[in-house]
Amino acid sequence: MSGLFLWTLSVATAAVALAIMIGLVIARTAVTWSRSGREAERRRLVPVLLAGAAGTDRRARDRPLLTDITVELIRLVRGSERDRLIDAASRLGVAARLQRRLDSGSPRVRIAAVEALSEFPDEESTDRLLTALSDRSADVRLSAALALAARDRAPSAVTLVDLLGIGTTEHSLLVRALFSDIARTRPDEIKALILSGGVPVGAKAAAVDALSASGDYSLVPMVARLVCETPTGDSIVARYLHALGEFGHPAAAEAVKRGLSSWDADVRAAACEAAGRIGLAELADELEGCLADLSFDVRLRAGEALVRLGEEGVARLRATSRAGGEAARHAAASILAERGLA
């Protein structure tokens, strides 16, 4: 009896395995056919779209593939050809299809639709992007804000801080890009964020990051004040110091000196880098002391900063490489060797 049971179980297991294998083969074949069909349709549609969309039939117009291909092409071409393609895509209903995708239950689909709609300058697309600023997904809201800022249609910066929760969620690089786009035409709005007392610290830091390459030296005292008013151990201070280094203005000296005494290694490293980029020779003693720091990154940034200070800094490195403590000697010797100054 047990032998019959085992035999039956073996046959059943083999049958299940065979069924699974057949199912996988069928699925693979179906996927291959589907891909082949999509590629064939793609090859047919691309020249038609580039020619101005003449000849596309009703079936093609209703297919998602047409929308996807059109968006890909719009991102590839430039100049008058791009304008012609956007116009053709609008007439084919591509923008309308993308707007409908904003009602999808999938955040991924909505984000892709927002990014694609950024290519269409019509008012209806802009209105849908503005509506997307209230989406339940934070990523969709941020994508919509980026799309609107790129066409200079974003709401005020302070409104975006509230809508997107800037400073309370971590999207620093994307938020910097958003603020940079706004600052191109409305820099006073971003500057106001730095001065406002009710703006989260993270939003202030993103505003500072966005304006750090502007060359507007009137911002230096503002950012320096943020460094002095923020606890030196707060990691956000490192971003302020990095911005001061990009400005390269000596008015930041006191803030940089404060950063060099922070107990946070990232802040000390940022202060060393800023001192070198600004050329704060009066902080040479502090930088020389940082060559013995417990943090390798701080020692490295201090050595690089001393090199930036010129002959005096190099002389200090050489002296330390001969007579400093072990960590300081190694850091100084490494920097000198790397720069060919040993």
> Does residue 35 have a pLDDT over 70?
no
Average pLDDT over residues 91-114: 89
Of residues 91 and 326, more confidently modeled = 326
Q: What is the DSSP-derived secondary structure letter of residue 169? A: B
pLDDT of amino acid 54 = 46
pLDDT of amino acid 135 = 92
* 219 vs 207: CA distance, rounded Å: 11
pLDDT tens for 45-58 read: 666 665 555 445 44
**Residue 252: pLDDT band with limits 50, 70, 90:** very high
0.75 cut: is pTM over it?
Answer: no
Let me know: does 298 contact 266? Beta carbons within 8 Å: no
User: Considering the chain, what is the average pLDDT of its residues?
Assistant: 84
* 115 vs 53: CA distance, rounded Å: 22
**Residue 131: pLDDT band with limits 50, 70, 90:** very high
List of E strands, 68-169? none
pLDDT tens for 254-311 read: 999 999 999 999 999 999 999 999 999 999 999 999 999 999 999 999 999 999 999 9
Q: Which of 132, 37, 308 is nearest to 146 (CA)?
A: 132
Exposed/middle/buried for residue 240 (C-beta within 10 Å: 0-12, 13-18, 19+): buried
| Structural domains in the chain, sorted by start | 214-342 (1.25.10.10)
